[in-house]
Chain A
Amino acid sequence: MTGETRTERPSALRHFARNRRGLLGGVVVAVMIVAGTFAPVLAPHSYSTQSLLNRLKPPSAAHWLGTDGFGRDVLSRVIWGSRVSLEIGLLATALSLVVGTAVGSVAGYFGGAVDTAIMRAADVFLSVPALFLILIVVALFGASLTNTALVIALVTWAPVGRVVRSECLSLSNRDFVHAAAALGAGHARILARHLLVNALPIVIVQASLLLGQTILIESGLSYLGLGAQPPLPSWGNMVVEGRQFLASAWWIATFPGLAIFVTVLGFNLFGDGLRDASDPTLRGRSS
Chain B
Amino acid sequence: MESGLRTYVAKRVGFAALMLVGVSMILFTIMRLAPGGPEAVLIGGEFSQEAAAQIRQRLGLDRPIALQYLGWAAAAVRGDLGRSFKTGDPVGALILDRLGPTLQLTAGALVLALAVAIPLGVLAAVRRGTIWDTLGSAVALFGVSFPSFWLGIMLILMFSEVFHLLPPSGLSEYGHETDVLARLRHAILPTLTLGLIQMASFMRFTRSSLLEVLRQDYVRTARAKGLGGGTVVWRHALRNALIPVVTVVGLSLPTLVGGAVLTETVFAWPGIGRLAVGAVFERDYPVIMGVNLMVSTVVITANLLTDLAYCAIDPRISYR
Which candidate, B111-119, B176-184, B296-304, is the interface stretch facing chain A? Answer: B296-304
The dominant DSSP class at the A interface is helix
> Given A136-B30, A224-B277, does the pair A131, B147 have CB atoms closer than 8 Å?
no
The one of B22, B141, B251 in contact with A126, judged by C-beta atoms closer than 8 angstroms, is B251
The one of A130, A131, A253, A264 in contact with B153, judged by C-beta atoms closer than 8 angstroms, is A253
Q: How far does the Cβ of A82 sit from chain B's closest Cβ, in whole Å?
A: 15
- Residues of B within 8 Å of A141, CB to CB, are 34-35
Q: How far does the Cβ of B315 sit from chain A's closest Cβ, in whole Å?
A: 24
**B283 interface residue, CB < 8 Å from A?**
yes
How many Å lie between the Cα of A258 and that of B115 in the bound state? 27
**A168 interface residue, CB < 8 Å from B?**
no
Question: Which residues 89-140 of A have a CB within 8 angstroms of B?
Answer: 120, 123-124, 126-133, 135-137, 139-140
How many Å lie between the Cα of A242 and that of B35 in the bound state? 32
- Residues of A within 8 Å of B146, CB to CB, are 261, 264
- Residues of A within 8 Å of B255, CB to CB, are 129-130
For chain A, the bracket of interface size reads 35 or more
**B45 interface residue, CB < 8 Å from A?**
no
Question: Do the beta carbons of B153 and A128 come within 8 Å of each other?
Answer: no
**B288 interface residue, CB < 8 Å from A?**
yes
Closest to B15 in A: A120
- Residues of B within 8 Å of A239, CB to CB, are 147, 149-150, 153
How many Å lie between the Cα of A286 and that of B35 in the bound state? 54
Question: Do the beta carbons of B300 and A127 come within 8 Å of each other?
Answer: yes
**A18 interface residue, CB < 8 Å from B?**
no
- Residues of A within 8 Å of B254, CB to CB, are 126-130, 132
Which candidate, B66-74, B96-104, B239-247, B256-264, is the interface stretch facing chain A? Answer: B256-264
Known: A127-B300, A224-B262, A264-B146. 15 other contacts (CB 8 A): A128-B296, A129-B257, A129-B261, A129-B299, A132-B292, A135-B261, A136-B280, A141-B35, A239-B153, A246-B161, A253-B150, A253-B153, A254-B154, A254-B157, A257-B150
A-B contact pairs, 7 of them (CB 8 A): A135-B280, A219-B149, A224-B261, A239-B150, A253-B150, A253-B157, A265-B141
Lowest 8 CB-CB distances: which A-B pairs, in order? A131-B258, A257-B150, A140-B34, A265-B145, A139-B280, A129-B254, A129-B257, A264-B145
Binding site for B on A (CB under 8 A): 120, 123-124, 126-133, 135-137, 139-142, 212, 216, 219-220, 223-224, 236, 239, 242-243, 246-247, 250, 253-254, 257, 260-261, 264-265, 268-269, 272, 286-287
